[in-house]
Each structure stands twice: as C-alpha cells, then as structure tokens.
Amino acid sequence: MTDHILASWCGPDENPASRRLHEIAAQLELIADLNGADMFIDCLREDGIAIVVAQARPRGVSSNYQRSAVSHIARREDEPAVYLAFESGLPVKDLKAVTQERRNVMQDVAPIRLEDGSCIGVLIAERDVTRELMREQKLRTLETREDAEKLEPAAGSGDLVLREMNHRMKNQLQMLSSTVRIRARSADNAQTREELLSMAAEVDVIASAYDAMTSSPTELLPLLPLLERTAELLRGLLPGVPVELRVTGDSTMITGDRAVTLVTAVSELMVNAIRHGYPGGRSGIVQVTLIGGNLVNTIQVEDDGVGFQPDRVRKTGGMRLISGLVHEKLSGEILWYSDGSGTRVTITIPREQ
C-alpha cells in the first residue's frame, strides 16, 4: 500500500506537475515489489529542503522502516543522493544514506521531470546496506597489496578491491559533477557557465564508465552501450539547441581502463562539435559510429557543422588532450578532416583479444 500526502502537497491531479506525481505514486507499490526495495517520492519545499511525499514498502521483502516516513524531511547530510539528483538533474546510483529511523541504506535516485524538462521531484529506491558495510570492513583489513594478493586466491579479494575502488571513484566523480553544476548555476558570465556545464557533463561520462566497471571490474565491457550512454549524458548540454547526437555501430568489447580513456576522448570530440560547429543556433547532427574489425576497432565522430582549420586548431589544449589519450593510453591512431561542410575525426585502436 502506498502512503502519500499528494492531495495536501500539490492538490488534485489538475495541473501537469500534480498529475505526474499522482501517476508515479499510483505505481509506487508495484515498483517497490519489482525492485524489492522501499520506494519514495521526495519534493523540495520552498526553503530547498526535501520532504517525503509518498512511500511504498515491498511485499515479500523486509522493509527498512517500522513507521511511515511521509511528511518527514530528508537532510542533506543523511541523504546526499537526493540533493545531488535535484541539483544535477541526473540519476544518482549507489550512494549511502541514513534513514529517518537512523538505519544505513543504499539509495538510487532519479529526477521526475515534466515534458519541458523541469524537475518536480525525485524517485528513490532504498535497499539494505549490510552487505556493503561488510565489504568495507573486509577491505579495511587489506592494508597492503601483499595482503590482498594473499587473500585473492581464496576469497576473490582482488576482484572485491577493484569493485570497491571503481564504486568509490564513481561516487566521487558524481559529487564533483554536482559541485561543478552548482558553480555553473551561480556564474554571472555566460561563457563561464557554458564551460562549467561542459566540464560537468564530461565528468558524468567518466563516472558512467566507472559505474560499468563496478559491475564487471575485471571483464571486458560492451563498448557501444558506453558510447550511447555518453551521448545521453551530453544531451544535457543541449537545452533548446537543435543539434542531435546519434550513436550507431557494431558490438565490440573493451577493457574497463581503456573504456574510461576512450569515452573521455569521444566526449571531448562531441562537446567540441556541439560548442564550435554550430554557431548562431544552427541545427545539425553529430554522428558517432563504431566499426568493429578483426584487428582494430574504429570510432568515427562526424558532424555537419561549419568545420575548422585542423593545422591551426590541432595546437589547442583540447586537441592535444584527445591526441595524447589516443596515442599514449590507447596505442591508437587519430585522423582529422574538416572543411566547410563539417568535420570527421577517425580513431583506430587495437581490438581486445
């Protein structure tokens, strides 16, 4: 059963925001059962404090709550994921939280949006964090690399360490991204604001790669979904800008560390295309294509913008960064071509064997 205060919080479902919240609340119990987790809807009060407006407990799984949390506030220090989601406008996964009943849980939080993109609340899933705490206690005993190597054959601690390192790195990057976005919103200069938002989006891209490595720290990762996720995150840079991001291609695999490097390079190319290829509100398409081969994988980033002079622009910091990543970190090659009809950058890297 779903407990909520939507009627008193936002009134009957007569306006888009109220209707949207009522629709999600109607499905909250089903979502709780599906995920085996306590589910919540939080909204922001006028003073910027989050308040629980709806709650559903899972059936068949023990809830973390003895009493209803509806009408209670969520403090920033107890539930950082809630505020990160509100402030960044992006989903936040696997951040620790403390419930209103002072229990440790792990939260996944997603913004609830209207069609115009405005955030009217967040959807929260909470699960017990006992296993995660036990994992951290084990990791604290691995004070040296030698200790980890001794335990790895018997308990798989090497994989455990990698998962925890990737998990922590992802969380730190999400915190950094949120901080940068807050700075961007308070910036007076439009160019500064654009630079900070670009930086935040690229940090989100790297965090998504670490998130993928948390699931498979020592295994190969599918590259195409990572590139698709990169485009999805960068679309946040395009409110009202008629530039479409497309990702297509073959199914191929890549190691986690190389994935982080590659998505960093590709995201930098896409951001450059968005920011410099379409002046004056021009519309267009930035196309990323992945071509799998027997010996090498090829990634093409192509736009139909105004182009640039490669010999002159290649000396800039962004170009040097991309070239350095491809040559030094990926042992690959990069080719640039640009004219008045657009730009094409082709990256080739050795295929994982």
* pLDDT tens digits, 158-217: 555 556 565 666 666 666 666 676 777 777 777 777 677 667 766 776 776 666 666 554
- Do residues 194 and 234 make contact, with C-beta atoms less than 8 angstroms apart? no
Write the secondary structure of 297-317 as one string of H (helix), E (strand) and C (coil).
EEEEEEECCCCCCHHHHCCCH
Whichever domain contains 108, its CATH number is 3.30.450.280
Q: Are residues 68 and 163 in the same domain?
A: no
Q: Are residues 301 and 181 in the same domain?
A: no
Predicted pLDDT of residue 153: 47
* pLDDT tens digits, 202-260: 677 677 666 666 655 446 888 898 899 888 878 765 666 788 999 999 988 888 878 88
Spatial distance between the Cα atoms of 16 and 20, rounded to a whole number of angstroms: 6
Q: Are residues 109 and 147 in the same domain?
A: no
Q: Is 110 part of a structural domain of the chain?
A: yes
Domain boundary among 192, 218, 244: 218
Q: Is 114 part of a structural domain of the chain?
A: yes
Q: Are residues 225 and 332 in the same domain?
A: yes
Spatial distance between the Cα atoms of 136 and 139, rounded to a whole number of angstroms: 5
Q: Are residues 193 and 282 in the same domain?
A: no
Q: Is 80 part of a structural domain of the chain?
A: no
Tell me the pLDDT band of 13, cut-offs 50, 70 and 90.
Answer: low
SS3 89: coil
Tell me the pLDDT band of 155, cut-offs 50, 70 and 90.
Answer: very low
Q: Are residues 37 and 50 in the same domain?
A: yes
Q: Are residues 267 and 305 in the same domain?
A: yes
Q: Are residues 150 and 235 in the same domain?
A: no
Q: Are residues 352 and 224 in the same domain?
A: yes
Burial (0-12, 13-18, 19+ Cβ within 10 Å), 219: exposed
* pLDDT tens digits, 290-335: 998 888 999 999 999 998 875 555 555 667 778 888 988 898 999 9
Q: Is 111 part of a structural domain of the chain?
A: yes
Q: Is 280 part of a structural domain of the chain?
A: yes
Domain boundary among 218, 236, 255: 218
Q: Is 90 part of a structural domain of the chain?
A: no
Q: Which amino acid is at 288?
A: V
User: Among 230, 345, 255, 256, which residue's Cα sits nearest to residue 298?
Assistant: 345
Q: Are residues 66 and 146 in the same domain?
A: no
Q: Is 91 part of a structural domain of the chain?
A: no
Query: Which residues make Cβ contacts (< 8 Å) with residue 170, sequence separation at least 6?
Result: 94, 207, 210, 211, 214
Q: Is 322 part of a structural domain of the chain?
A: yes
- Which of 274 and 55 is assigned the larger pLDDT? 55
Q: Are residues 290 and 328 in the same domain?
A: yes
Q: Are residues 352 and 229 in the same domain?
A: yes
Query: Which residues make Cβ contacts (< 8 Å) with residue 151, sequence separation at least 6?
Result: 142, 157, 158
Whichever domain contains 320, its CATH number is 3.30.565.10
Domain boundary among 88, 110, 128: 128
* Number of separate domains in the chain: 3
Q: Which domain holds residue 14?
A: 2-75+96-128
